[in-house]
Amino acid sequence: MGIELLSVWMVVALFALLLIGIPVPFALASSGIVFGIVGFGPALFGLLPLRVFGVVTNYTLLAIPLFVFMGVMLEKSRLAERMLEVIGHVAGQRPGGMAMAIVIVGVLMGASTGIVAATVVTVGLISLPTLLARHYSKSLACGTICAAGTLGQIIPPSLVLIVLSDISGESVGTLFAGALIPGLLLSGLYVLYLVAMAWRRPERMPPIDAEERAGVSTGTLMLDLVKVVAPPLALIVLVLGSIIGGIAAPTEAASMGAIGAILLVACTGRLNLSVMSETVISTFKITGMTMFVLIAAQVFSLAFRGLGGDRLIDSLFEFLPGGVWGGIIFMMALIFLLGFFLDWIEISYIVLPLLLPYFQAQGTDLAWLCILVAMNLQTSFLTPPFGWSLFYLKGVAPPEISTRDIYAGVLPYIGIQFLALVLLCLFPALVTWLPNAIGW
């Protein structure tokens, strides 16, 4: 083994630093530098400036701040508030209608903003008091809001998919096209679950009472539905259609999305200097955090490979039973367990650069594998005790909502995500058909 043991201790040191609360970029960089110098000396990092230069000049990564800007700007337009109000009245005449409306809004917000925190907080503030007032089950209401809010992780344009594109070398367009059907499949499974619950336990999700529905005419409701849903749909088609159709590169499409978001907010009358300033500052914060982790990961990755860690990974996969499938199951289990403690971006830059080279050498379809990873990473937002969506909702929930209500509510949706993951494993065409059909 020799020097390869240092790579093992480097990984152990990394997780030790994370457990004591050291921020991820500092933990990645410090463990990589210390063990790299111990094993090889400073010469090991001679390539580091070139690798960092490659990161900061990566044209594809320019899509990250543009998509973040688009998402934050759309948050200011209060699209979610209007969509919930209108779609909720359309669907709310039957048991579970409001919960299904939340899933639909989650799909539209995920495809137009892609920012989980914004979606969960916005939908939680708007819909949770209303659901409780209409005697919805606390756990079911909380679970539905958290699950719907995380759909932006798998439905393109998603920051997760852009990051996975950078790590795997697959094009952003391929991953966006590959994630479209799985994202809609997961949303459909959520709706089927709610339909089943409404049939079995209608008292947990009662419909809007007839007196409230009578206050809004059907014609007005349909007109409002078109006015509210058409603008985000047009933006989605503009951005995703241009990428998946090969008309524009992801960065170019993201810039169109950013301009479209500004116009959309301007049409609502909410565009002013304060909104623009808040949007730009939030964009800088999110982008800076992402890029800092990415650059620090280059230090860790360089040291790990220099110490022969990649050979250890190959040996580990040879030891696992089941060949490539055994390796996939191991990676999925590892990502799921890390999701209890780490954020998706941390998992992506710690685990995937170490494991993906093995699957690439085995001829595995990396686009399909990346969508499996994206679906699995989504559970990191829902799994107790540190799922970020749970914290986001708890921060805006009324006092009568306990942490237990939120934890109990997300458990069925975690199970649904596992079912979707199994379906993608059994039927890879769910991922590969659309990219192949359009020639990606």
**Contact partners, residue 46, CB within 8 Å, separation at least 6:** none
Please give the Cα distance from 152 to 177 (Å, whole number).
15
Question: In 3D, which of 163, 430, 417 has the Cα closest to residue 286?
Answer: 163
What does R_g of the chain's alpha carbons equal in angstroms? 22
**Contact partners, residue 245, CB within 8 Å, separation at least 6:** 438
Structural domain total, the chain: 1
pTM reported for the whole predicted model: 0.82
Each of the 440 residues of the chain gets a pLDDT tens digit; together they read: 456 678 778 888 888 887 787 887 888 888 888 888 887 777 777 778 887 887 788 777 788 888 888 877 877 767 666 777 777 777 667 787 888 888 888 888 777 766 676 677 777 877 788 788 778 888 888 899 889 888 888 888 888 888 888 888 888 888 988 999 999 999 999 999 999 988 888 888 887 666 655 556 666 767 777 777 778 778 878 887 887 777 887 788 888 888 888 888 888 787 888 888 888 888 888 888 878 888 888 888 888 877 777 677 777 777 778 788 888 998 888 888 777 767 777 778 778 888 888 888 888 899 999 999 999 888 777 887 667 788 778 877 888 888 888 888 899 999 999 999 999 999 999 999 988 887 66
Q: What's the angle, vertex CA 142, arms to CA 214 and CA 157, rounded to 5?
A: 90
Residue 316 Cα distances to 144, 159, 213, 313, angstroms: 39, 30, 61, 5
Please give the Cα distance from 324 to 327 (Å, whole number).
5
Counting DSSP H helices and E strands in the chain, the numbers are: 21, 0
Please give the Cα distance from 158 to 75 (Å, whole number).
15
Q: Give residue 369's domain range.
A: 4-437
Alpha carbon of residue 425 to chain centroid: 19
